[in-house]
Amino acid sequence: MLVMEEFNTGPKCAYPWVSYLICLAPLPLLAYIGLESYGIDYRAFYLAGKAVAHGLDPYINHVTLSSQFYGPVNAELAFYSGWKYPPLAAYLFVPFGLLPYEISKSLFIFISLALFAGVLITALHLLKRSITPEAIIIALIGFPVLSTVERGQVEIALVALATVAVALAARGRTGWGMALLGVLASVKIYPLLLAAILCRFKRSLQLRGLVVLVLVLFSIAIMTMLIVPADWRQSFYTRLSIDFDRVPGQVLAALPADSGVIQGSTTVRSVDARNLIHSHDFVFGFGNPLLTRQPKTAAAFGSFGIIASLYLNRKQSPSQQALCLMPWINIANPLSWIMGVVWYLPLFLYSYNKVGFVPRFILCLPLILPPFLNVSAYFAASLTLIVAKWYRLSQPPSPTTPLVR
């Protein structure tokens, strides 16, 4: 009943589809940033797919074999590559690794933005029926999306698909939602935090949803054992135990002459791409600077925040509780950057036209505050604790007595 009530309230579509054409305005800016950037995070994904396609361990830096395996910033001359994700996920990037690098990077950015525009917005429409076009524009020009496009991160795709999982559960498809979360966990484990909320949409499906999730995770584990070579799996476990700034090196005395960051600049030289910028200033912002390299403390603090958010939003719909949980993913992660604030976007888009003018401005702050302040993720997580009050304050009071002339 709760689910049905959630979909039967509110206008079906407050904005005609033509009004969403203005949302295309930020695309030239995003395209420009994507084309002039090297995409150092995507480079790790690309090289992992390329390594798997050549039968090589994706966790090892293979620059010794060919300068086409050069990974700027994230690998350089270190023993390990920049790939730190579960081994089965590397197979997803094999098709991208077979393409020329710049074409592959552009295709990946296009798919990520398409997922944002098509999948994320559609999923939110299923939850609320109406998303303000100006909120989409603000989201697209905010620093988290700019940074994600610049670095070539996979976060936008994960956020969009996680929101789809929430929408599926809200429509009574808890099993499908849980299955999707299990698949996402094969890339990054943090979306699994949403499983606690998906079970709350329909209590009769709780056990079934959990069974589906366990079966999907078990299937992924079995596929990993059958498909991924044992030495690759061991490399993954070893890689996880090493801090990001303590990766052993060197595999070569010096980089090949045709590879490397040009001294005194942020430009990368490589054999398979033009000289592109590896980092703009707006990507330098931590998601959880106070708990960097403190995984246990970060997990404890993030868990406390999630519990507090769920308690304060206990009277809200399960879908809203799930959207409020997403920003805390960035706090539970001890190695999160400004790109991780894209987990705040579903709640931002969902809430933007449900609050008054001043709260709208405050909702924008996690997206527009300079990343070097290192407070955007904390701000986004804090807003989950109070945003429900703004919903009630923005509603006009219902008349109790008829107007008398």
pLDDT digits (tens, 9 = 90+) for 382-402: 999 999 999 866 555 544 444
| pTM of the predicted protein model | 0.89
Letter for the amino acid at 340? G
Task: For residue 382, give the H/E element and its range.
Answer: helix 376-383
The residues, any chain, with a CB within 8 Å of residue 219's CB and separated by 6 or more, are none
Strands (E), 114-167: none
Each residue of 275-284: b (16+ CB within 10 Å) or e? ebbbbeebbe
Q: For the chain, what are the domain ranges?
A: 28-261, 287-393
Token code pair at residue 388: 């429900």
Mark the ranges of the chain whose per-residue pLDDT is less than 70: 1-17, 125-129, 202-205, 244-245, 392-405
Residue with tokens 């994230």: 74
Distance separating alpha carbons of residues 400 and 57, to the nearest angstrom:
70
Cβ atoms of 321 and 200 closer than 8 Å: yes
* Residue in 312, 328, 325 with CA at minimum distance from that of residue 388: 312
Is the link from the previous residue into 250 a cis peptide, with omega within 30 of 0? yes
Tens-digit pLDDT profile for residues 189-213: 888 888 888 877 766 567 788 889 9
Q: C-alpha 236: how far from its chain's center?
A: 21
DSSP of 165-181: HHHHHHTT-HHHHHHHH
Distances in Å between the alpha carbon of 318 and those of 167, 205, 207, 339, 405? Answer: 10, 14, 17, 26, 44
Distance separating alpha carbons of residues 166 and 177, to the nearest angstrom:
6
Distance separating alpha carbons of residues 260 and 272, to the nearest angstrom:
12
DSSP state of 77: T
Count the neighbouring beta carbons within 10 Å of the beta carbon of residue 206.
14
Distance separating alpha carbons of residues 81 and 45, to the nearest angstrom:
10
Distance separating alpha carbons of residues 190 and 212, to the nearest angstrom:
18
Distance separating alpha carbons of residues 142 and 146, to the nearest angstrom:
6
Cβ atoms of 164 and 131 closer than 8 Å: no
Cβ atoms of 60 and 235 closer than 8 Å: yes
Cα end-to-end distance, the chain, whole Å: 41
Distance separating alpha carbons of residues 130 and 14, to the nearest angstrom:
6
* Res 398: pLDDT: 47
* Residue in 220, 215, 219, 175 with CA at minimum distance from that of residue 198: 175
Task: For residue 273, give the H/E element and its range.
Answer: strand 273-277
Q: Is 106 helix (H, G, I), strand (E, B) or coil?
A: helix
Cβ atoms of 86 and 236 closer than 8 Å: yes
